[in-house]
Structure 1
Amino acid sequence: MSGRTKMKSTFKLKNVQRALLAAGLIAATTGALASSTVSTSFQVQANVNAQCSISAVNLTFPTVDPLSSQTDGATTVTVKCTKNSAYTVGLNAGTTTGSTIAQRLMANGADLMDYNLYTDIGRTSIWGNSAGSWVSGTGAGMGTAQVLNVYGRVAAGQTNLAVGTFTEPTVTVTVTY
């Protein structure tokens, strides 16, 4: 090999080595840049509104004997409210003409029968629809039913009751939350 060819080969080899070295540095720098990260964060939030649902079972008293003592019956009201929601449940007087919270009435035509609804099994606290006469509670979650007992009593001493079925078609149950 002549001196000139050897020098050309050495020059070309050095240029190739320099080019490879430069390419390696560029690749290393690009790799370092590609692995850099920047981060941030964000918050996730959801509000839950208070909700309640309510259902009730009809109250059917046993047969009333006008010559004996009072006649008792019971039913239930079921409340489902969002967890930790305060609520009250009230019962109105019904729709029979003359009916009040203090003295509810059922009718059989023009004949009336006295009865009432209570919050306690001893039937001493009348269940109404105002402060002091309603039932209060705290929701346990919409999937958890809270069953409230409604205690009824047909008053004794109603000796002029007509034979037949007495009804109160609509006692409205209201849940306030």
Structure 2
Amino acid sequence: MKRPLATWLLFAIALAWFGFAPSAQAQTCTITTTAVAFGVYDPQATGALDGTGSVRLDCSNYGTVNVALDDGGATSYPARRMTTPSGPDLLGYQLYTDNARSIVWGDGATAATDTVNCFIGISSDGCVSTLFSLRATRTIYGRIPALQNVGIGNYSDTVRLTITF
């Protein structure tokens, strides 16, 4: 039985494909953050104080990276707070995924929180990535609610960031 040339050609291409299939590579990322900068808080101001920061992901491969934030030094996401070493006051604040400051950036598993997916190499979901770049940058939106009776001082909190591939 004689096989047509096209059959042999397809068979050869299939062998070549399986023989030269790319190997899987583990994703690695370097994370660089810019702290959310609120400026000076006035306890008597009637409006909230907003600020922004960012997270930058430099990764080894294209693909999706999920970014989650913990609740900082608080016991829950609704109670995020900053402290000052010079006094007992706590300054409440929140971190958000959107400019409207309506979606709390958290772990996605806790009620009323969400995470962010960055597609390395593609600008989407608020992540900015230049063409053919293995870098994605995402803004973090912060807000301190108005009329909190706190003393003078430098307030801060440490929030841990977790990425999942």
TM-score, L = length of structure 1:
0.67
Query: Partner residue of 2:150?
Result: 161
Q: Give the greater-gyration-radius structure (CA).
A: 1
Within 5 A, what are the aligned runs for 1:1-177? Answer: 43-44=19-20, 45-68=22-45, 69-95=47-73, 98-108=74-84, 109-131=87-109, 133-140=114-121, 143-158=133-148, 160-168=149-157, 170-177=158-165
Runs of 4+ more than 4 Å apart: none
* Residue 144 to residue 85, structure 1, CA distance change in 2 (3 Å): closer
Percent of pairs with identical residues: 29
Residue 116 (structure 1) shift:
0.5
Unaligned stretches of 5+ residues in structure 2: 1-14, 123-131
Higher strand share: 2
C-alpha separation in 2, matches of 1:114 and 1:151 = 15
Please tell me whether the aligned partners of residues 93 and 101 of structure 1 are also in contact (alpha carbons under 8 angstroms): yes
Residue 99 (structure 1) shift:
4.3
User: CA deviation digits over 1:52-109, x for unaligned, max 9?
Assistant: 22221122211111111110110000113344422210111112xx442122100123
Which amino acid is the alignment partner of residue 133 of structure 1? Answer: D
Residue 130 (structure 1) shift:
2.2
Residue 157 (structure 1) shift:
1.9
User: CA deviation digits over 1:22-42, x for unaligned, max 9?
Assistant: xxxxxxxxxxxxxxxxxxx98
Q: How many residues align structurally?
A: 133
C-alpha separation in 2, matches of 1:58 and 1:84 = 26
User: CA deviation digits over 1:125-155, x for unaligned, max 9?
Assistant: 1100124511012222995221100011111
C-alpha separation in 2, matches of 1:112 and 1:79 = 31
Residue 49 (structure 1) shift:
2.1
CA root-mean-square deviation: 2.3
C-alpha separation in 2, matches of 1:55 and 1:116 = 20
TM-score, L = length of structure 2:
0.71
Unaligned stretches of 5+ residues in structure 1: 1-40
* Residue 77 to residue 59, structure 1, CA distance change in 2 (3 Å): same
